[in-house]
Amino acid sequence: MAFAAPGEAPIQCSASPQGLKPHPFCATCGTAEAVPFQNRRVIRRFPGHGNCGTALACCAALALAAGFATGCGHHREASQPPPQATAPEPQPTPPATEANIPESTRPARIAPTPAPRGGVSEADREYIASHRPVFSEEGYATWYTAPYKGRRAANGEVFSDYAMTAAHRTLPMGSLIVVTNLGTGQSGAMRITDRGPFVEGRILDLSMASAKATGIYRSGMAMVRLEVYETPKSISIGGRWCVQIGAFHSERKAIRLKEQLLRRYPGSNVIEFPGEDSYWVRIRPEGDDRTEAELIARHVRPAEGEAFLTRLD
C-alpha cells in the first residue's frame, strides 16, 4: 500500500479478513495492517496474569512485537516510486477543409453574385452597343463543362452548359464581357460567373454555349480578345483575394504544402481539397488582402503545378 497524499481519500488496505484483525495503530488508513488471531491466544499461557491491566499490557507488547516482525505494508510500499503516467499517442490531424474548421475561425463567406438567366440579358446587349470597353486583354481561351450535374459555380449559382458565361481568375464576379476569337472573328457577350482556368498561359474558360458562339467549341482552344464593359466592383482597387496552388497528383504533397503555409503564414486560412483526379491548396491571407495574396503568389514555389492569384468576389 502507498501512503495517501494530503487531501486525497484514504487508500484501502488489501489485507484479507480471514484469520486477521485490523491493526489499531495504522494512522494512514485506520485499518491498514492486520495481526494474526493466534497472537491473542498467547495471553492464556502466562500464569498469574489474572490482573486485567497486566494481561492487556502483555497483549499489547506481543502485538507490538508481531508488528515489528511483519512490518507495516504501508511503509514497504511507500518506498516504491509511483507508476509514471504515459502520454497518449498523438492522433493524426484530419485534412483541414472548410467543413471541419470551427465556424468562429472560418473566413467570411463570399456573397453569391447572381447572373441573368442565360448569362446575359437584352439590356446587357444594349449596354454593350452604347458603351466602350473599360479594360481589355488578349490570351488563350478554352472551354469546360461541369464534372457533375448540379455543380455550383464560384458565383453561388448552379453551372449551366447552356448559359453564356465564362471563368476568369481575377475579374470581379459578374463582370460583363465580350470575347472575340482572333482567328475567326466570331464574338459573344457573356458574364463572369466562375474562377479559372488554373492552367498557365490561359486567361478564360468558356461554357459550352460561349464556346460555340465564339467558334472555340470544336478547336478546344483559341487566341481571343477579352473586353470588359461593366463590373460591379473596381478591377484595380480592393476586392477579396486568395492564392490557389496546384494541381497536385499526390495528396501527400498537397498536405505537406498546406502545413508549410500554415507555419509560414499563421494568420491565414489554408485548406487542401480534391479536384478532378488531382488535389489543390488554397490560402486566404488575413482579411483576404490583395497585397498579401500577391506577395504569397510571388514567393510560393510548389512541388507541382503553379500558384495562381485569384479573386474571390
Residue 19, pLDDT score: 39
Residue 65, pLDDT score: 45
Q: For 210-243, write each residue's pLDDT tens digit.
A: 999 999 999 999 999 999 999 999 999 999 999 9
Q: Looking at domain 122-230, which CATH architecture does it have? A: Beta Barrel (2.40)
How large a percentage of the chain has pLDDT more than 90? 58
Taking 80 as the threshold, does the pLDDT of residue 296 lie above it?
A: yes
Taking 50 as the threshold, does the pLDDT of residue 5 lie above it?
A: no
Residue 109, pLDDT score: 81
Options 3.30.70, 2.60.40, 1.10.3470, 1.20.120; CATH of 241-311: 3.30.70
**What stretch(es) of the chain map to CATH 2.40.40.10?**
122-230
Q: For 237-294, write each residue's pLDDT tens digit.
A: 999 999 999 999 999 999 999 999 999 999 999 999 998 889 999 999 999 999 999 9
- Of the two residues 28 and 208, the one the predictor is more confident about is 208
Mean pLDDT of 176-203: 97
Mean pLDDT of 183-198: 97
Taking 50 as the threshold, does the pLDDT of residue 59 lie above it?
A: no
Q: For 150-174, write each residue's pLDDT tens digit.
A: 899 999 999 999 999 999 999 999 9
Cell of 248: 497536385
**What stretch(es) of the chain map to CATH 3.30.70?**
241-311
Residue 303, pLDDT score: 84
How large a percentage of the chain has pLDDT more than 70? 66
Residue 41, pLDDT score: 42
Tell me the pLDDT of the chain averaged across its residues. 77
